[in-house]
Structure 1
Amino acid sequence: MDRLLFNTFDLALLITIYQCTLFALFLILLKKGKRQSNILLALFLLSYAAIPLDTLINFGAAFRQFAMDFSPNIFYIFGMAYWIEAVLLLFFVRSLIYKNFSLQPKDILYFLPFLIFAAHDIHDWHLLDSQTKFLILEGYQLANEPAYTRYINLFRECFRTFCGVLCIVELHRYQKHIKNEFADIEAIDLTWLKILVIGFLVIRVQAIITTLGFMTSIDLHININYALIGQISNFMVMFLISFLMFYSLGFSSVFKGIENKEKVIEKDPIDLAQVAKIETFMREKKPYLNHLLNLENLSMQLQMPARNLSQIINRHFKQNFFEFINRYRIEESKYLLQQEENRKVTMLDIMDQAGFNSKATFNTFFKKSVGLTPTQYRKEQLK
């Protein structure tokens, strides 16, 4: 075995295939958490593993000949994954964000490019006989591809980038609406998901640049080293997957989903009886002392639909749920700090007794509401 089968760039692709497959198996077999989300992320990783495999088969230094000897039928089949991996990542993000996520009939639109391209590929390649395929592969030159294929590739990369942008939009929407349903948002860790989404978005933008560089070199005869850009992208994917695997080993998901509901503009007047009911309940039962209180379980305690409760808080009290609950907690903490017997009680204990679960939220919200830090407020009250 003196013949070199893989060079350094091929090894980067092989490592990426191995990492994606291993990560997917880990998610399906071992990872705890939301089963639906784990499966969608595993499918995304498996589809992404097909992309470097397609690159190896079509452009690998020595792997291409090995693939031809094995079977010409494996050419181009893995390239279909380009059209589906970004869609799967989008559905994974949505499955985390929305508690009631499920695929809708309109979601078939995201699969239309994949279905159209698959039909085109089957007609133009997979229905050919093996002998014809061998003749085409032996005389293949990338520069000799018809011009329309370059525009298909450019559309493909733009579509993948578009799906990545939609992931960013969904994350932004989640961060905007999370305060309407939860009073404790410090524990919601978006770091891993942001790295995943932004990392692959950067790689897709780079793929557009690579495609444009190739089109410029072939059609305009302006020499651009598009191959180097593509190779850098391959290494970026390898390191990104490595980081995500390492991060996920210690990643305990405390992701809290929100309801996926259409925006409704309510013009009916607020029921003042319900307002009074909420105020009385908050004053007498003090549900805000529960560290884990959220919109859903408060609505159950009030025996009131969560949507109605949210609308009353937003429209009548002019606050989101986060502000509404934590203002009650601030009032409770002010009361505790005024008591002489609490002079030596630590701020962590005061925070805990008032219902706060995060020191950062307690300090920030107290200073914003009162104009003093908790320590300064106690000194002022107990002079």
Structure 2
Amino acid sequence: MISNYLLAGFLCAQAAIPIDNLINFGAAFKLWALDVSPNLFHSFGLAFWLEAPLLLLYTRSLIYKNYQLKATDLVYFLPFVLFLTYFAVTWWMEDNQTKIDVLQGNIIATSDLLSRFIHITRECIRLIFGVMCLIELQRYQKQLQNEVADIESVDLNWLKILVIGFLVIRIDAIVVAFALVFSYELGLTIDHELFGLTSNYVVMLMISGLIFFSAGYSPVFKGISSEPTPSTDKHKEVINPAQVALVTEFMQEKKPYLNHLLTLENLASQLGMPARNLSNLINRHFDKNFFEFINYYRIEESKKLLEMPQNKKATMLDIMDWAGFNSKATFNTFFKKLAGVTPTEYRKNYWKNTG
């Protein structure tokens, strides 16, 4: 599964980052690295340029159906390639004695302005990728209502929390980058080490959370189509009346909405229609997304159930289940929205007026 490979790549990049910190700033590790090869210094830092695009692609692999990497995705790794080229010329191709001379002093304090600029640019790029991840998740949440009728079964919050967490970490990294400039170039005292250390501990917690939730919850994702949502412009194309009649009759007679796990693709298959055509029809003719469309019929079904004498003693959980709902919150919210009263009030008023 492509998402597993992308997650593995992201975790490897995250593992390389603390190794880079240990080699560059840990006294014991620094001496060991000098004995092994000066090339170890800064090389693990290449992971900073990789982890952000890998997280974006991993997020996409979870939310899109049959996700495959495309040639255009390589553009996300262009900053890495550019920096790798620069790094090879300015570090790997230098002779070892020059590298050792550079490493003898305070690496941070002796960095030139170009290095500081590259550092800030790197953190800004990572932040942009984080924002892109959040946009993808928001699009997923919106599009999901066009494809499934039981959105509560999709646990989106864990990934959103992790993405926002990494976004905050990258903002902190930008603060650290500017703090270095202010401290060493402008003479302003800012405790950049505190910011950096705090960020490292938070990253450790975030990575632990990512591993846990990825292992246990990623399979519950219901992939959405990577195609854009059908247009709601009612003048764009003519609605086929025969298809409207087919869908209406099928919903009334076959009651597919009683299936708790009904999806757009499943309903389209039963109707013998392309899923995109059905989605377009529901959006433009019925003026609803799939989530609203199916739950409208479920509410109508629940009203009928509440009006049946044999169901006077039935619990609301029973009514909810018989009508096709999986979520009590969705049942109560939609019922109040469409009927104007709660299910309990509806049954009480109905039998009071009837009897």
The TM-score with structure 1 as length reference comes to 0.87
For 1:134 and 1:148, the matched residues in 2 are separated by 20
User: CA contact under 8 A between 1:289 and 1:354: conserved in structure 2?
Assistant: yes
For 2:230 and 2:209, the matched residues in 1 are separated by 41
For 2:29 and 2:98, the matched residues in 1 are separated by 20
Aligned length: 349
- Give CA-to-partner distance per residue, 1:106-139, whole Å, 9 cap, x none: 2221111000000111111112333333233234
Q: State the AA in 1 paired with 2:302.
A: S
Q: State the AA in 1 paired with 2:308.
A: Q
Alignment partner of 1:45 is 2:14: no
- Give CA-to-partner distance per residue, 1:4-43, whole Å, 9 cap, x none: xxxxxxxxxxxxxxxxxxxxxxxxxxxxxxx322221121
**Bigger mean CA offset, 240-249 vs 255-264:** 240-249
Alignment partner of 1:57 is 2:26: no
Aligned to 1:292: 261
**Bigger mean CA offset, 134-143 vs 55-64:** 134-143
The TM-score with structure 2 as length reference comes to 0.94
Q: 1:40 to 1:250 in 2, by over 3 A?
A: closer
Percent of pairs with identical residues: 58
Aligned to 1:338: 307
How far does residue 223 in structure 1 lie from its aligned partner after superposition?
Answer: 1.3
How far does residue 353 in structure 1 lie from its aligned partner after superposition?
Answer: 1.1
Match of 1:319 among 280, 288, 302: 288
- Give CA-to-partner distance per residue, 1:209-231, whole Å, 9 cap, x none: 00000011122111111111111
Aligned to 1:77: 43
For 1:113 and 1:247, the matched residues in 2 are separated by 29
- Give CA-to-partner distance per residue, 1:30-70, whole Å, 9 cap, x none: xxxxx322221121111011111111111113221121112
Q: 1:247 to 1:88 in 2, by over 3 A?
A: closer
Aligned to 1:225: 191
How far does residue 251 in structure 1 lie from its aligned partner after superposition?
Answer: 4.0
- Give CA-to-partner distance per residue, 1:118-167, whole Å, 9 cap, x none: 01111111123333332332345422222111000100000000000001
User: CA contact under 8 A between 1:340 and 1:382: conserved in structure 2?
Assistant: no
**Bigger mean CA offset, 229-238 vs 322-331:** 229-238
For 2:78 and 2:264, the matched residues in 1 are separated by 38
**Bigger mean CA offset, 51-60 vs 135-144:** 135-144
User: CA contact under 8 A between 2:230 and 2:276: conserved in structure 1?
Assistant: no
Q: State the AA in 2 paired with 1:371.
A: G
For 2:319 and 2:338, the matched residues in 1 are separated by 17
Match of 1:131 among 97, 121, 133: 97
**Bigger mean CA offset, 343-352 vs 256-265:** 256-265
Q: Secondary structure at 1:262's aligned position in 2? A: coil
Q: State the AA in 2 paired with 1:369.
A: L
Aligned to 1:363: 332
For 1:249 and 1:293, the matched residues in 2 are separated by 26
Aligned to 1:161: 127
Aligned to 1:195: 161
For 2:102 and 2:183, the matched residues in 1 are separated by 23
For 2:79 and 2:212, the matched residues in 1 are separated by 33
- Give CA-to-partner distance per residue, 1:73-101, whole Å, 9 cap, x none: 21121111111100000001111111132
Alignment partner of 1:306 is 2:265: no
For 1:195 and 1:185, the matched residues in 2 are separated by 18
For 2:24 and 2:206, the matched residues in 1 are separated by 24
Match of 2:200 among 220, 234, 237: 234
Q: State the AA in 1 paired with 2:323.
A: A
For 2:5 and 2:343, the matched residues in 1 are separated by 46
Q: Secondary structure at 1:274's aligned position in 2? A: helix
Q: State the AA in 2 paired with 1:344.
A: K
Q: Secondary structure at 2:242's aligned position in 1? A: helix
Q: 1:175 to 1:247 in 2, by over 3 A?
A: closer
**Bigger mean CA offset, 317-326 vs 137-146:** 137-146
How far does residue 291 in structure 1 lie from its aligned partner after superposition?
Answer: 0.7
Q: 1:300 to 1:250 in 2, by over 3 A?
A: closer
Aligned to 1:97: 63
Aligned to 1:8: none
Q: State the AA in 2 paired with 1:277.
A: L
- Give CA-to-partner distance per residue, 1:294-352, whole Å, 9 cap, x none: 10010011111111101110010000000100111111110011010111112111111
Q: 1:217 to 1:252 in 2, by over 3 A?
A: closer
User: CA contact under 8 A between 1:51 and 1:82: conserved in structure 2?
Assistant: yes
Q: 1:273 to 1:249 in 2, by over 3 A?
A: closer
Alignment partner of 1:378 is 2:347: yes
Q: State the AA in 2 paired with 1:186.
A: E
Aligned to 1:67: 33
Aligned to 1:276: 245
For 2:217 and 2:60, the matched residues in 1 are separated by 19
Aligned to 1:209: 175
User: CA contact under 8 A between 1:100 and 1:260: conserved in structure 2?
Assistant: no
